[in-house]
Amino acid sequence: MENKKVAIISDTHIGSERSRFRYIALNDTIGLFKSMDTVVLNGDTFTLLGKPSTRSAILTEANREHLQKRMDTLFIELERILRECPNTHFHYLVGNHDGFPPAYDRLQELAKHYKNLEPHYEQLILGDALFTHGDLNIPPKYLSTRNAFSTDRKRNFSLPGGVPGEMEQAMYQDICQNMKQAGRLNNISSVFIGHTHMPVFGYEVEGVRFYNSGGFEGERVGCIFTGNLTDDGHLKDIVAKIIEPKMLGAPSL
Ligand SMILES: [Mn+2]
């Protein structure tokens, strides 16, 4: 057995007019995916609904209809990726913009036809790495503020490194707490999240390294992480390929 090559990306927000990804297959992304054994799409790959800060946003008839239409359009793109990369296994984690029960049901339907698609509602563990979008780990006090991200957004992160803000640190603590309760804190070495659109590379909390692939809306810095998953389940050689804000051109979906 050889190491498995893994890529992780989040928050491409395809379908949002501010997204720099009109298609995820732009600019060699599809080539990178083809060269991988496993790709983790770590939430908010598509913007199916505009501004939900939580997945429990009440689905009115109007936005349920809207959701159906968006799914019809945007999941064609997902099918294209699955067809073009038949030897790559895709883990699709949902976020707060694509994590609603009807969308998750549709993903599960799609997974019956495409064996290289595996949807996840909350989290995924591969070896000693845990993947989750991050929206489920925001403490209520931050959700109740008008804009939970407003102060964080002023900071300018650089990769590698970057010191996470107060809300992000609270998210990490929540994730550590959950892992402790599940008895797996000692088995996890790295955690990958998204959601805040702030890239973070290997920030350590309680012996766990946290990674955030940033975001692809507006001028935000986003990256694709790659690493090697060894036979004995260790995700190593983690590197970040930064995707420059202007690289992908203006979206026009
Ligand atoms: Mn999100």
Looking at residue 45, what DSSP letter applies?
S
156 vs 142: CA distance, rounded Å: 21
Distance 52 CA to ligand 1 centre (A): 9
Predicted pLDDT of residue 138: 87
Distance 189 CA to ligand 1 centre (A): 23
Residue 171, domain CATH: 3.60.21.10
Distance 238 CA to ligand 1 centre (A): 23
What's the chain's average pLDDT? 85
Instruction: With respect to residue 236, please indicate whether it lies within any of the assigned structural domains.
Output: yes
- HSE value, Cβ hemisphere, 13 Å, CA-based, for 242: 15
Number of domains in the chain: 1
124 vs 9: CA distance, rounded Å: 14
What are the strands, taking DSSP E only, across the chain? Answer: 4-9, 38-42, 89-93, 117-120, 124-126, 129-131, 190-193, 200-205, 208-212, 222-229, 235-243
Q: Is the pLDDT of residue 9 over 90?
A: yes
Distance 2 CA to ligand 1 centre (A): 33
Instruction: With respect to residue 13, please indicate whether it lies within any of the assigned structural domains.
Output: yes
The pLDDT tens digits of the residues spanning 144-188 come to 654 444 444 444 444 445 678 888 899 999 999 999 999 999 999
Instruction: With respect to residue 248, please indicate whether it lies within any of the assigned structural domains.
Output: no
User: Binning pLDDT at 50, 70 and 90, where does residue 16 land?
Assistant: confident
Distance 53 CA to ligand 1 centre (A): 8
By C-alpha distance, which of 125, 132, 129 is closest to 94? 132
Q: Is the pLDDT of residue 253 over 80?
A: no
Instruction: With respect to residue 250, please indicate whether it lies within any of the assigned structural domains.
Output: no
Mean pLDDT to the nearest integer, 124-138: 95
Instruction: With respect to residue 196, please indicate whether it lies within any of the assigned structural domains.
Output: yes
The pLDDT tens digits of the residues spanning 214-237 come to 888 887 788 899 999 999 999 999
Q: How many CB atoms lie within 10 A of CB 193?
A: 28
Predicted pLDDT of residue 7: 97
Residue 43 tokens, joined: 């939430």
Instruction: With respect to residue 253, please indicate whether it lies within any of the assigned structural domains.
Output: no
Distance 64 CA to ligand 1 centre (A): 19
Q: What percent of the chain has pLDDT over 90?
A: 53
Residue 9 tokens, joined: 């990306």
Domain that holds residue 23: 4-243
Instruction: With respect to residue 249, please indicate whether it lies within any of the assigned structural domains.
Output: no
Predicted pLDDT of residue 144: 61
Predicted pLDDT of residue 149: 47
Distance 42 CA to ligand 1 centre (A): 9
Residue 93 tokens, joined: 């984690």
Distance 3 CA to ligand 1 centre (A): 30
By C-alpha distance, which of 90, 78, 92, 167 is closest to 122? 92
Residue 160 tokens, joined: 């590698």
Predicted pLDDT of residue 206: 94
The pLDDT tens digits of the residues spanning 31-85 come to 899 999 999 999 999 999 877 777 766 778 888 888 898 899 889 889 989 999 9
12 vs 222: CA distance, rounded Å: 9
Strands across the sheet containing 200-205: 124-126, 129-131, 190-193, 208-212, 200-205
Distance 59 CA to ligand 1 centre (A): 17
21 vs 218: CA distance, rounded Å: 10
By C-alpha distance, which of 143, 137, 166, 132 is closest to 57? 143
Predicted pLDDT of residue 38: 98
* Surrounding residues of ion ligand 1, Cβ less than 5 A: 44, 95-96, 195
Distance 195 CA to ligand 1 centre (A): 4
Instruction: With respect to residue 218, please indicate whether it lies within any of the assigned structural domains.
Output: yes
Mean pLDDT to the nearest integer, 191-207: 92
Distance 94 CA to ligand 1 centre (A): 9
Predicted pLDDT of residue 150: 41
